[in-house]
Amino acid sequence: MKSVVDRFMEYVRHDTQSDENSVTFPSTAKQLDFARFLLEELTSVGLKAELDDHGYVMGTLESNLDYKTPVVGFIAHMDTTPEVSGKEVKPRIVQNYNGGDIILNAEKGILITPSVFPKLKEFIGRDLIVTDGTTVLGADDKAGIAEIITAVEYLKDRPEIPHGTIRFAFTPDEEIGRGVDYFNVKGFGADFAYTLDGEGIGTFEFENFNAATCEVKIKGVSIHPGAAKGIMKNAIKIGNEFIALLPANEVPEATSDYEGFYHIYQMSGGVQEAQQKIIVRDHFKERFEKRKEFLKACAEFINKKYGDNTLSLEIRDSYYNMKEIIERTPQIIEIAEKAIKNAAIDPIIKPIRGGTDGARLSYMGLPTPNIFSGGFNIHGIYEYIPTFALEKAVEVVLNIVKEVAQIKK
């Protein structure tokens, strides 16, 4: 049986970066390649699994009990962020971390330093997995995949451990908000599930942002600068003026906890035309709706100043706060908290400043809070994961299975 560390080190070498500009599902063929790899591995270790036409890998470990229990599911996503390359990841284990700087790439002068990432100090004496400083590591979320498969294989090989029916699934395109577009909740057949997709160790999350994406299109008028007076409308400048209307302190870099934000993450174009992409986030539904209305009011201001249809918005909701759904079934919160405590970890219960597949799945009829998978500094070249975090997450999965096995339906 492979260790969870060995499994993780192998998985991250597969490039599974998703692409939000793609019109296919999954958005990249390389995710399907990885799905086929996982299917082959699951089959080779004697686990029952299948791969559907949409790239979802789903599997089952049948109950070994003589009574019925709830069916519990475990879910992780296969893709890595589009923001930073996931190609040719070169994972390396820093053994017995000494608390100092970690050189990722001597040639390029790239290092992780505790002065910038103070959390590192908590892992002195631990083994850490890092990259060569040119790619993401992929702990988000290949750590979750490795942890789930390792736990389920462990149970398969030890039939003396009582457990109910366990379902598991690996999804594509979570990073671009499409991860459960074609997820068959009824076919999955779980009563509730947990995603393993949380940063850090001990994290347990059952509330998240309400989220929307806003696409902005600006129409300008281009003319030779020498004859521009009274005629030119510079789409770039108009776009900048639109952004300047948004609250300066309501941005990701100035907010935390339950504070929402506007975040412009793409801008392109020229004098004649320009485009922007903005994400809107807020934990509270009423404030979320007000944020979207404020964007519309800003657009109206620009159009009143520069002419009708100068600036147009398309706002699309992405997902909603799962808290409303999860709190209807408090038992699944209690199970996770107990499982984390029984792994000798203090649960860290906090709101997700983002979203997971579980947020949408909860509104699709499958309550799915989120458990840590163990990585830090995700979505960047400074991503790392302690090896013991991988091992502890496996233990938490096994503890959840143990708790569910005691519930008779």
Catalytic residues: 79, 174
* 3-state SS, residue 149: helix
From start to end of 184-247, where are the E strands? 192-198, 203-205, 210-219
Tally the C-alpha atoms within 13 A of residue 339's C-alpha that lie toward its C-beta. Answer: 26
Tally the C-alpha atoms within 13 A of residue 147's C-alpha that lie toward its C-beta. Answer: 34
127-159 in b/e form (b: 16+ CB < 10 A) is ebbbbbbbbbbbbbbbbbbbbbbbbbbbbbeee
Q: What CA–CA distance (Å, rounded) separates 55 from 78?
A: 10
Radius of gyration, alpha carbons of the chain: 23
HEC profile of 378-391: CCCCCCEEEHHHHH
Tally the C-alpha atoms within 13 A of residue 256's C-alpha that lie toward its C-beta. Answer: 0
The angle subtended at Cα 21 by Cα 313 and Cα 172, nearest 5°, is 120
341 φ/ψ angles, rounded to the nearest 5 degrees: -65, -40
